Amino acid sequence: MVEPREDVTLGKLPLTYRALFTSFLLVMGLGLCMAGAQIMLTHGAADGKMGLSMDDIVYSYYGNRSGSKLESAMTGKMKSKAPAEVSFAMIQWARDGAPAEQWNKLAPLFEKHCASCHDAESGLPEVNKIDVARSLSETDQGASIATLTRVSHIHLFGIGFIFLFVGWIFGMAEFNQRWKIILITTPFAFLVLDIASWWLTKFWPAFAWFTMIGGIGYSIAAMVMFVTAFAQMWLPRWTKK
């Protein structure tokens, strides 16, 4: 990547590049909003209540070790997927040790309320199969090491590249040099803190706070860079210099 000249600022860029950078930032901003919505709909419902809380983070990574994975799901993010009496029957079966001789009674419930989403093509556990359902009756240990490894490397590569290009665009802004460097590097630092907190929370739930801090930190830094870039590319104060 070619380093921009010091005298090339966002307001002096040709219209072509301003349109390109604006389109990129708009799409990335929309993507970050969708990521936030996805977090609310998955992790945000882990405790059975909408809105992201410390319990949601702990349940997602450390697990709700007072019950099974099945119970955590049916009292949390899957609560609305089945009537209360069905959820109770599934949870009771898990608490009883998931006896195989009772599967004939439970199988139709899993088939009716779960199988439409949890099928072979979805990539989700096929809970209408007894071996899968019984594995979910085990104590909820949160995210597995394999899952954390997979999600961590995807986030580090993907979000890291987003911050690279956002920082490169912001690097051409008219901004105090010291604060510019801080803002460019801050999202990377908070991204590492965010992902490191997943692993720490997996073993020590008290570290769930760092997940919240990491997400808020890089979101604020990114927003400042986004708003600054938009303003300096299109407002007359900078474009008419």
Residues in the chain: 241
What's the rounded Cα separation, in Å, for the pair 149 and 153? 6
Contact 72, 140 (CB under 8 A): yes
What pLDDT does 188 receive? 96
Contact 149, 161 (CB under 8 A): no
Contact 90, 106 (CB under 8 A): yes
Say yes or no: 39 and 76 in one domain. no
What's the rounded Cα separation, in Å, for the pair 225 and 207? 28
Listed as own residue / partner, the contacts of 216-220 with beta carbons closer than 8 Å and 24 or more positions apart are 217/186, 217/187, 217/189, 217/190, 217/193, 218/163, 218/186, 218/187, 218/190, 218/191, 218/194, 219/32, 219/36
Q: What is the pLDDT along the chain (241 residues), one digit of tens a residue?
A: 555 555 678 988 999 999 999 999 999 999 888 888 887 777 766 656 666 778 788 888 887 766 777 877 787 777 778 888 888 888 888 888 788 888 888 888 888 888 777 776 767 777 778 888 888 777 777 788 999 999 999 999 999 999 999 999 999 999 889 999 999 999 999 999 999 999 999 999 999 999 989 989 999 999 999 999 999 999 988 877 5
Q: Is residue 126 part of a domain?
A: yes
Give the distance from CA 204 to its chain's centroid.
20
Among residues 135, 158, 181, the one where a domain terminates is 135
Q: Is residue 187 part of a domain?
A: yes
Say yes or no: 40 and 72 in one domain. no
What pLDDT does 63 receive? 79
Give the distance from CA 132 to its chain's centroid.
25
Q: Is residue 150 part of a domain?
A: yes
What pLDDT does 6 receive? 58
Among residues 111, 135, 159, the one where a domain terminates is 135
Phi, psi of 139 (to 5 degrees): -55, 135
- Domain of residue 117, residue span: 66-135
What pLDDT does 41 receive? 73
What pLDDT does 203 receive? 93
| Number of structural domains the chain divides into | 2
Say yes or no: 224 and 117 in one domain. no
